[in-house]
Amino acid sequence: MGSFLSLLKTTTTLLAAPPATAAINGAGLGELPESCVAMVLMNLDPIDICRFARLNQAFRGAATADFVWESKLPGNWGKVIEKMWEENEVKGLGKRGVFEALCRGNLIDGGTKKVWLDMSMGGMCLAISAKGLTITGIDDRRYWNHIPSEESGFSTVAYLQQIWWFEVNGEVDFPFPAGTYSVFFRLHLGRAFKRFGRRQCNVENIHGWDKKPVRFQVSTSDSQKAISQCFVKEPGKWINYHAGDFVTENPNKNTRVKFSMTQIDCTHTKGGLCVDSVMICPKSSRRC
């Protein structure tokens, strides 16, 4: 999420900076009609829009036009903000303000989910924390513990001590913009900690994951299904395990997505695993 916050800070700084002067073959860029400049800016990435805003007053004015920033919003942005905020929380925001608000990591559902706009793909990303998932045995400290983690976007992760029946389930109901989305489980074998400022990982409790693969399932309210399986491996490293994909075609209607991760072969126990979150992002997004 840091790159998004960094972009927003850059955006504000660039628009607040005094405009530079530029000329092409002796003709000042300031002579260009603001409406023409805005049409050009519509075809640029958000950060480039902000950079061009430094050229002169015409570019600065065009860079604040509502229709320029509306072109960067998802097509169903109205439905998205209805899901995320009360009407009075976004009242009076221009399209640039809505864009900035969507780019932040916005917490919803009691802080168990985080939502933000993927600027590279134009879709929405969701992250569901371990506390927003249904985990078998989570209330029994013999099996699971919620532990603090600086490496989680939610500040805590679920750590598995040992269990026979491993099962994690979750679901979201959200107006995803049209497109193809991927579901990932963010997992880590071993328990990371810091000693004298250096990251280390306790791997002593890792066991059972090399016996059988875990099984992932994804299903949607319009009957799409995806099933995959793989071994959990590479201790000491956070890995996004791909659970499956789904497609949304009607952005004006909520899509209910259910997902699960299981390893229920009770011939052996499993342990030493951190579950951070489940992420849903546009397919091929740089954020997943």
Give the DSSP letter string of 145-174.
Answer: EEEE-TTSTTSEEEEE--BSSEEEEEEEEE
Confidence of residue 12 (pLDDT cuts 50, 70, 90): low
Return the pLDDT at 200.
92
| pLDDT surpassing 70 at residue 286 | no
Query: Whole-model pTM?
Result: 0.83
Rounded CA gap, 207 and 205, in Å?
6
| pLDDT surpassing 90 at residue 167 | yes
Residue 280's beta-bridge partner residues?
Answer: 126, 183
More confident residue, 99 or 157: 157
| Mean pLDDT (whole number) for 245-253 | 93
| pLDDT surpassing 90 at residue 137 | yes
| pLDDT surpassing 70 at residue 85 | yes
Give the range among 24-33, 90-99, 124-133, 151-160 with minimum mean pLDDT: 24-33
Return the pLDDT at 6.
55
Return the pLDDT at 1.
47
| pLDDT surpassing 60 at residue 4 | no
Pick from 29-38, 180-189, 197-206, 248-257 the range whose average pLDDT is largest: 180-189
Name the one residue in this structure whose structure tokens are 């998802």: 74
Return the pLDDT at 143.
96
Return the pLDDT at 53.
77
* DSSP of 214-243: EEEEEEETTS-EEEEEE----TTSEEEEEE
| pLDDT surpassing 90 at residue 241 | yes
Confidence of residue 114 (pLDDT cuts 50, 70, 90): very high
Return the pLDDT at 23.
46
- φ/ψ of 13, rounded to 5, equals -65, -45
Return the pLDDT at 100.
85
Confidence of residue 140 (pLDDT cuts 50, 70, 90): very high
Name the one residue in this structure whose structure tokens are 């963010």: 186
Residue 179's beta-bridge partner residues?
Answer: 248
- Enclosing H/E stretch for 101: helix 95-103
Return the pLDDT at 24.
45
Residues contacting 279, CB < 8 A, separation 6+ = 125, 126, 127, 128, 183, 184, 186, 240, 287, 288
CA distance to 60, 202, 254, per residue, from 242 (Å): 42, 25, 23
More confident residue, 286 or 234: 234
Return the pLDDT at 109.
92
